[in-house]
Structure 1
Amino acid sequence: MNTNVKNKTMKVLIAKEQGKPFIMGETDKPQPADHQVLIKIKSVGLNPLDLKIKNGKAAHAKVILPAVPGIDMSGIVVETGKDVHDFKPGDEVFGMIGSIGGHQGTLAEYITADADHISLKPENVSFQEAAAIPLLFITAWEALVDQINIQTGQTVLIHGGSGGVGHIAIQIAAAKGAKVFSTVSPDHSELIQNYGAEPIDYTTLSAVQYVQKYTDGKGFDAVIDTVGSSVLDDSFSAVKQYTGHVVSILGWGSHSLAPLSFRNAKYSGVFTLYPMLSGERKKYHGDILKEASRHLENGKVKVRLHPQYYSLEQANEAFALLENRKAAGKVIINIF
């Protein structure tokens, strides 16, 4: 028997100081409120945002140290509040529920979550795959479906298609019937093709050159920027006149809108963290995860995982992969 469960405590990872290694700790196991479920966490998918929080470079996430880190998770419901009717003990679930805005992070043995903020895990998907999905899919869905309303036959350029959000966005756009292109380095061309996109070598072609080569100079119907900085500036020059739409998940700098204005085109931003910070629209995140479940079940979306999994005690090693840019896919920590 797990003595932590018996004693009503649990193991957690703690970010005590900015830029310092995590430490292991122990705290009281949380209890679900009337509208919540208690989840035994099985796997956690790490995000670049987790690393930024650790290093004090994500003030917008409103995490005050010391804190338990971790945003995404998959696990098993072990207890439900009295107002919860859609889940029961034993249900396998996944969600983006931790860390942001002062919530307990997912790098722990247990966590509570609002019942409308999570979704059932597809049976054909592992806990590791499910834990890698939430932040990536929600962000890509909000960009492609909510902001652009992507349609069959439209041309979509996705910058950074080999990255986390990028490779999920390619698959969603392809599943919607769009013709998808993605800027990547040559060593990722085959990977991008397997996801359903035409690779564009940004190391040899400028924005003007690839717009001419792939759209006859007309521009793309939609551009998704997952990189920010000068890539967002390139995006403004790559969309179609009148109907073009640029969406960025990293549009936080200062940019000239002149190229976009001369095209009579649109710009939108995506800020995936807002529901966790404000408490608003949490249910919508749960609804998007139900869409993720459907796409995972029918094989239209697959997530790329780093081949090695880590334990909670190996978290510093796992985060070093992110910091050194050595991860070959989503890094997973198992909490079994």
Structure 2
Amino acid sequence: MKTIKSKWEQDEDIKHFIEVVDVPVPQKNEVVVQVKACGLSAINKKILTEVFQKSSCDNFIVGWEVAGIVTKADDSVSHVSVGDEVVGILPVDSPFSGCAEYSLFHEFDVVKKPETLSFEEAAAGIGELVKAYTALFYQGHVCSGDTILVLDGATAFGSIAIQLARMWGAKIITTVSSKEEKNYLESLPFSVAQIIEVSVKNNILVSSVMEETGGVGVDVVLDNGARQFSTEEDIILMSEKYKFPVPHKHDIISCLAVSGKWITSQFGLQLDPPDSQQLFLRGASLCFLFDQVWTLSYAQQGRYQHVLHDAVDKLHGGLVKVKIAKTVSMDEVVEVMKNLDNFRVGKVIMKI
């Protein structure tokens, strides 16, 4: 079996390599899946070192969102059978990569895929849908009539969050940082309340949100990272690193309404006393979004299975659609992962 792993060097650069290993053998409640497609996501070194509880450089797998066919199953498995087409998400601490010919899953980490739903669409959408479902339903408690600010709405995660929130009756405000992103959102079969064009040089986020909401603010902010500091040097460094504007945490808090919720993907976010005071005065709250928490603990197996089934049903029914930005082969993954941040619109997937 060929698999792709990622190696962290002293200079913090990511080095990818292909390793040949034996096809895994399923143990209790495990199944072997022949990979047909795998969604590619950025690797967060800090999160992985926390999960693996290692401070030194190590090798980590690449690719968690997988669609494929079950080829082997332990006798204890009851949810799926050999020959079933399935889709699922590997645990972040799994020793088997999704970018491989075969991978090993716990039976509760996969669900059956309808035959009319392609492997590519399933792999591209499952991870982002679970993440959006976790943020909006379990953390944001979004319901009809709420107003939601989704930052970077043209990304794979942002666009799915918009579609899911709109399905539940929420009013959507979102941001873009290029004409390409704006054109993509405007091409969707529905319209959002406002698309705010932001850049490194302007700071119109708060004023635009307040104008749209009549000075009330939004009920939920769903971010794609937040800037810790607001010095000119910090802004320049962030723009050079991410190639797109990242809002300051104070601006995000300023967009919240009374009892609003800020759901952040920013690992290690630091709140200063003035930030905490602003949240306190609004009666607002902060949630940290880590979608892989489902696969790191099996205390919520039933609930997680419900999320996976609902995600697949929405993809199959066309209620939620994900744009596939690029399809690559296994040999191309090494090069694409180095420049994954350049794909701002849609999802990159590997297809075998």
Could you tell me the TM-score, scaled by structure 2's length? 0.82
Which residue number corresponds to residue 64 of structure 2? Answer: 71
In 2, Cα distance between the equivalents of 1:84 and 1:17?
A: 36
**Whole-angstrom CA distance in 1 between matches of 2:136 and 2:219:** 12
Matched, 1:244 2:260: yes
1:314 and 2:310 aligned: no
Question: Does the CA contact (< 8 Å) of 1:170 and 1:196 recur in 2?
Answer: no
When structure 1 is superposed on structure 2, of 213-222 and 226-235 the one drifting more is 226-235
2:29 to 35, 40, 49: 35
Separation of aligned partners in 1, 2:145 and 2:283 = 21
Aligned to 1:60: 50
Partner of 1:258: 277
Three-state SS of the structure 2 residue aligned to 1:318 is helix
Deviates more, 1:16-25 or 1:159-168: 16-25
Aligned-pair Cα RMSD in Å: 2.3
Q: Find out whether 1:272 has 2:264 as its counterpart.
A: no
CA shift for structure 1 position 35: 0.9
AA partner of residue 315 (structure 1)? V
TM-score normalised by structure 1 residue count: 0.86
Q: Give 2:174's match in structure 1, choosing from 164, 175, 182.
A: 182
For each residue in 1:259-318, what CA deviation from the matched residue of structure 2 results, as whole angstroms up to 9, or x when unmatched?
2212122222222222434454355433211111121122121111123x2211222222
Given residue 158 of structure 2, which amino acid in structure 1 is its aligned partner?
G
SS in 1 for 2:31: strand
Q: How many residues align?
A: 318
Q: Distance in 2 between matches of 1:192 and 1:12?
A: 35
Where do 5+ consecutive residues of structure 1 fail to align?
1-9
1:40-189 map, 5 Å: 40-49=34-43, 52-53=44-45, 58-62=48-52, 65-98=58-91, 100-187=92-179, 188-189=181-182
1:228/1:208 Cα in 2 relative to 1: closer, same or farther (>3 Å)? Answer: closer
Preserved contact between residue 14 and residue 338 of structure 2 (Cα < 8 Å): no
CA change 1:311–1:283 in 2 (3 A) is: farther
Q: What percentage of residue pairs aligned between the two structures are identical?
A: 27
- In structure 1, the residue matched to 2:243 is none
Summarize deviations over 1:10-37 as a string: whole Å, max 9, x none.
Answer: 1222334533543333211111122111
Give the SS at the match of 2:62: coil
Q: 1:72 to 1:257 in 2, by over 3 A?
A: same
Tell me if structure 2 keeps the 8 A contact 1:77–1:89: yes
Cα distance in 2 for residues equivalent to 1:149 and 1:83: 36
Residue 4 of structure 1 is matched in structure 2 by: none
Match of 1:316, SS state, is helix
Letter in 2 for 1:131: A
Contact 1:11/1:108 (CA < 8 Å) preserved in 2?
yes
Separation (CA, whole Å) in 1 of partners of 2:114 and 2:212: 37
> Cα offset for 1:170?
0.6
Deviation sequence 1:157-212 (CA, Å, 0-9, x none): 11111223211111110111111111112512232232643312233552431132
- Structure 1 distance, partners of 2:133, 2:75, is 32
Asked if 2 retains the 8 angstrom alpha-carbon contact of 1:95 and 1:286, the reply is: no
Query: Which of 200, 204, 210 is equivalent to 2:196?
Result: 200
| Partner SS state of residue 183, structure 1 | strand
How far apart are the structure 2 equivalents of 1:110 and 1:220?
Answer: 44
Could you tell me how far apart the structure 1 residues matched to 2:295 and 2:175 are? Answer: 31
| Matched residue SS, 1:172 | helix
Question: Is contact 1:236–1:259 with CA below 8 Å preserved after alignment?
Answer: yes
Which consecutive residues of structure 2, in runs of 5 or more, have no partner in the other structure? 228-246
Indicate how the Cα distance of structure 1 residues 296 and 254 shifts in structure 2: closer, same or farther if over 3 A, else same.
same
Amino acid corresponding to residue 195 of structure 2 in structure 1: P
| Aligned-partner Cα distance in 1 for 2:264–2:182 | 22
Q: Is the 8 A contact 2:149 2:220 kept in 1?
A: yes
1:6 aligns with none
1:5 — aligned with what?
none
The equivalent residue for 1:214 is: 212
- CA offset at residue 251 of structure 1? 5.2
Amino acid at match of 1:41: V
Does the Cα contact within 8 Å between 1:304 and 1:329 map onto a contact in 2? yes
Select which of 307, 314, 320 maps to 1:301: 320
